[in-house]
Amino acid sequence: MSTMKQSNRKRSSTDFPQGFVWGVAAASYQVEGAAREDGRGPSIWDTFSRKPGKVLHGHTGDVSVDQYHRYEEDVQLMHELGVASYRFSIAWPRVQPAGSGAINPAGLDYYRRLSDALHARGIQTTATLYHWDLPQPLEDAGGWPVRDTAYRFAEYSRVCFEALGDHVDRWITLNEPWCSSVLGYLEGVHAPGCTDRSAAWAAAHHLMLGHGLAVQAYRSGPGAQPDAAPIGITLNLESPRPATRRPEDLEAADRWIDLRSRFFLDPLLGRPYPERHFASYPDHTPPPVQTGDMATIAVPIDFLGVNFYHEPVVAADPSHPEGFRCAESHHETTDMGWPITPRGLYRHLKWVWQTTEGRYPLFITENGCAMPDTLTPDGERCHDPRRVAYLREHFSAALDAVEDGVDLRGYFVWSLIDNFEWAYGYEKRFGIVYADYVNGRRVRKDSFYYLREVISGAETL
């Protein structure tokens, strides 16, 4: 394994392949604010965050870091960093406030202005079409458990392809459909806050169907051009460690992968959903797959986005309906309580690469951590040594995977700036730029300067 091979040699970002894309990422509801401006309609997160007890301290994304108005400042920060690309998401309720029908030109204009500002500084745009902010009227009509939502997503995607096609350098259909379906419709901790397993399976299927329909729409329109921007999907797959080498723990780790990874990866690869998972819940209705759906989902994509934060440990547990649970980890943890497992990133990239049989180039579309930050007394600087260490170890692990043959094309740090961390509100800070939520001021953290040095090749990994 390359860690051993490389231990005496100093490595830097120049050891990543030519053209490797260093970037930072964020998402519309988490950073934009301006929730009621310029014709934006309500999203499920506007509704959910107002329900008592759903989001810590009752925080909402109404204002956040106000990137909608302050994007020039953030683009300038990215320019200083030297990133090649910014991964942002397009807010569906800004573009199509009711989720179908009328288009809001002011919403499209915002993304044109943002893209123009990025391009003017030589930064490519990586646009995600759906990062969880479903227009509320679509949820009122049943949300993702309803098949029609997949068609509405394809329609909205087509609008974006046509209106923003000459502004976007890389398209991502969905961000982490596992979260939208399982956290949103089964565990109830994300919008819309439902707790119904059959609904979650249906939601997962319709998200994947929406992805396939959107890619088809792209390929039959702007994506048919030979020089069209690549299109892919971002998944938060997991490939856990078994708690021990005992057969029951090995089996538990494999079963964990069914809902967490196979449900989303297998249909992209032209394979069926993991039937074994549905068999564990005989009282629930398996996903409502119709003839032709699986072929639609398997329409070829140009790359796969991998989001990685930690590697879980899984143990057999006969008291659980599926027979397993997440086990204690001995690793140090981040502010989210997530274990810090850089070798897990190395193993995960290799697992994804092997499981997908090398079919897609990979991008790490998110990696980062919530960690304690210390503002200096003058408020001009912010120290976050643990985030710097986290990033260094993960960059190094990614390079190990590259040196072992994984076709990794880029790495987006989550996140450019502190933002609305969903059910945790503003309490967890993932940014490499500190946000003062009182006055909107941005303060560069140590990790900002560290990333800048990594990108320039001056910092060793």
Q: Return the number of the residue (261 or 296) whose C-beta is nearest ligand IFM.
A: 261
Cβ of residue 132: shortest distance to ligand IFM, in angstroms?
A: 7
Which token pair is 7?
A: 């231990």
* Catalytic entry in 139, 311, 366, 421: 366
275 is an active site residue:
no
Q: Return the number of the residue (61 or 222) whose C-beta is nearest ligand IFM.
A: 61
Per-residue contact track with ligand IFM, 178 to 217, x per CB under 6 A? ----------------------------------------
Spatial separation of the C-alpha atoms in residues 46 and 135, rounded to whole Å: 9
Residue 84 gets which letter from DSSP?
S
- Contact partners, residue 279, CB within 8 Å, separation at least 6: none
| 27 interacts with ligand IFM by CB under 6 A | yes
Residue 113 CB coordination number (10 Å) = 14
366 is an active site residue:
yes
* Catalytic entry in 139, 176, 311, 421: 176
Spatial separation of the C-alpha atoms in residues 267 and 272, rounded to whole Å: 6
Q: Return the number of the residue (110 or 414) whose C-beta is nearest ligand IFM.
A: 414
Cβ of residue 251: shortest distance to ligand IFM, in angstroms?
A: 28
Positions 28 through 87 that interact with ligand IFM (CB under 6 A):
30
Q: Return the number of the residue (266 or 421) whose C-beta is nearest ligand IFM.
A: 421
Q: Return the number of the residue (86 or 430) whose C-beta is nearest ligand IFM.
A: 430
Judge contact between 373 and 429, C-beta under 8 A. yes
Cβ of residue 61: shortest distance to ligand IFM, in angstroms?
A: 11
| 414 interacts with ligand IFM by CB under 6 A | yes
Cβ of residue 420: shortest distance to ligand IFM, in angstroms?
A: 8
- Number of residues in contact with ligand IFM, rule: CB under 6 A? 8
List beta partners, residue 127.
88, 171
If we measure between CA atoms, which residue out of 419, 410, 447 comes closest to residue 432?
Answer: 447
Cβ of residue 307: shortest distance to ligand IFM, in angstroms?
A: 5
Which of 133, 258, 293, 421 is the binder for ligand IFM (CB under 6 A)? 421
Positions 304 through 343 that interact with ligand IFM (CB under 6 A):
307
Q: Return the number of the residue (198 or 307) whose C-beta is nearest ligand IFM.
A: 307
Judge contact between 433 and 445, C-beta under 8 A. yes
> What's phi and psi for 451, nearest 5 deg?
-60, -40
Judge contact between 13 and 458, C-beta under 8 A. no
Cβ of residue 344: shortest distance to ligand IFM, in angstroms?
A: 15
Q: Extract long-range pairs of 51-57: CB within 8 Å, 24+ residues apart.
A: 51/193, 54/193, 54/423, 55/422, 55/423, 55/424, 55/425, 56/423, 56/424, 56/425, 56/427, 57/425, 57/426, 57/427
Cβ of residue 194: shortest distance to ligand IFM, in angstroms?
A: 19
Positions 351 through 370 that interact with ligand IFM (CB under 6 A):
366
Q: Return the number of the residue (139 or 176) whose C-beta is nearest ligand IFM.
A: 176
Which of 32, 46, 176, 266 is the binder for ligand IFM (CB under 6 A)? 176
Judge contact between 168 and 125, C-beta under 8 A. yes
Cβ of residue 305: shortest distance to ligand IFM, in angstroms?
A: 11
Which token pair is 353?
A: 């690469």
Q: Return the number of the residue (293 or 421) whose C-beta is nearest ligand IFM.
A: 421
| 238 interacts with ligand IFM by CB under 6 A | no
Spatial separation of the C-alpha atoms in residues 169 and 116, rounded to whole Å: 12
- Contact partners, residue 402, CB within 8 Å, separation at least 6: 15, 16, 17, 408
Judge contact between 439 and 72, C-beta under 8 A. no
Q: Tokens 């108005």 identify what position?
A: 69
Q: Which residues form the catalytic set?
A: 176, 366
Residues that bind ligand IFM (CB under 6 A): 27, 30, 176, 307, 366, 414, 421, 430
